[in-house]
Amino acid sequence: MKVKMQIRDLNFYYGDFKALMDINMDIERKKVTALIGPSGCGKSTFIRTLNRMNDLIENTKVEGEILLDGEDIYSKKIEVEELRKKVGMVFQKPNPFPKSIYENIVYGPKRHGIRNKKQLDEIVEKSLRGAALWDEVKDRLNKSAWELSGGQQQRLCIARAIAMEPEVILMDEPTSALDPIATSKIENLIETLKKDYTIVIVTHSMQQAARISDNTAFFLMGELVEFGPTSTIFTTPKDQRTEDYITGRFG
Partner 1 sequence: MNLGKRKNANRIFHGILVCCILFSILMLAVLFIDTFKKGLPYLNVKFLTNYTSRFASKAGIKAAIFGSLWIIVFTIIIAFPLGVCGAIYLEEYASKNKLNDLIKVNISNLAGVPSIVYGILGLAIFVRALGFGRTIISGAITMALLILPIIIVASQEAIKTVPHNLKEASYALGATKWETIREVILPYSMPGILTGTILAVSRAIGEAAPLVVVGGAAAIWFTPQTPFDEFTTLPLQIFTWATMPQREFQGVAAAGIIVLLIVLIFINLTAILLRNKYQDRIKV
Partner 2 sequence: MNGINIKNNKKNANKSDILRNIRIKKVKEKIIKNLLFGFGMVSVLITVAIFITLFSESVLFFQHIPILDFLTGTKWTPLFKPQHFGVLPLISGTFLIVIFSSIISIPIGLLSAIYLSEYAHKKVRKIVKPVIEVLAGIPSIVYGYFALNTITPFIRKIFPEASIYNALSASIAVGVMTIPMVLSLSEDSMKAVPNSLREGAYALGLTKLEVVYGVVIPAAFSGIVASFILAISRAIGETMIVALAAGSTPKLTLNPLESIQTMTGFIVQISQGDVVQGSIEAQSLFAVAMLLFVITLSMNLLSRYIVNRFKEDY
Residues lying near partner 2 in the complex (CB under 8 A) are found at 79, 81-82, 85, 112-113
The answer to whether residues 224 and 24 touch, using CB atoms and an 8 Å cutoff, is yes
Q: Which stretch, 61-69, 106-114, 115-123, 199-207, contacts partner 1 (CB under 8 A)?
A: 106-114
DSSP string covering 180-219: HHHHHHHHHHHHHHTTT-EEEEE-S-HHHHHHH-SEEEEE
Which residue among 91, 134, 223, 241 contacts partner 1 (CB under 8 A)?
A: 91
**Could you give the angle at the alpha carbon of 160 between the alpha carbons of 218 and 196, nearest 5°?**
60
14 part of the interface to partner 1, by CB under 8 A: no
Minimum CB separation from partner 2 for residue 147, in Å? 29
For residues 141-200, which are near partner 1 according to CB under 8 A?
A: 142-144, 146, 157, 160-161, 164
Give whichever of 71 and 147 is closer to partner 2, judged by the CB atom. 71
For residues 208-247, which are near partner 1 according to CB under 8 A?
A: none
| CA separation for the pair 14, 4 (Å, rounded) | 27
Cα separations (Å) of 158 from 167, 178, 190? 13, 14, 10
Q: Which does 113 bind (CB under 5 to 8 A by kind): partner 2, partner 1, none?
A: partner 2
Name 194's Cβ contacts closer than 8 Å, sequence gap at least 6. 30, 31, 32, 214
Minimum CB separation from partner 2 for residue 138, in Å? 28
For residues 43-72, which are near partner 1 according to CB under 8 A?
A: 51, 53, 56, 58
Backbone angles phi, psi at 108, to 5 degrees: -65, -55
**Pairs from 119-122 (Cβ < 8 Å, separation ≥ 24):** none
For residues 111-130, which are near partner 1 according to CB under 8 A?
A: 111-112
| CA separation for the pair 249, 197 (Å, rounded) | 34
Contact residues: partner 1, CB under 8 A: 51, 53, 56, 58, 81-85, 88-89, 91, 93, 95-100, 107-108, 111-112, 142-144, 146, 157, 160-161, 164
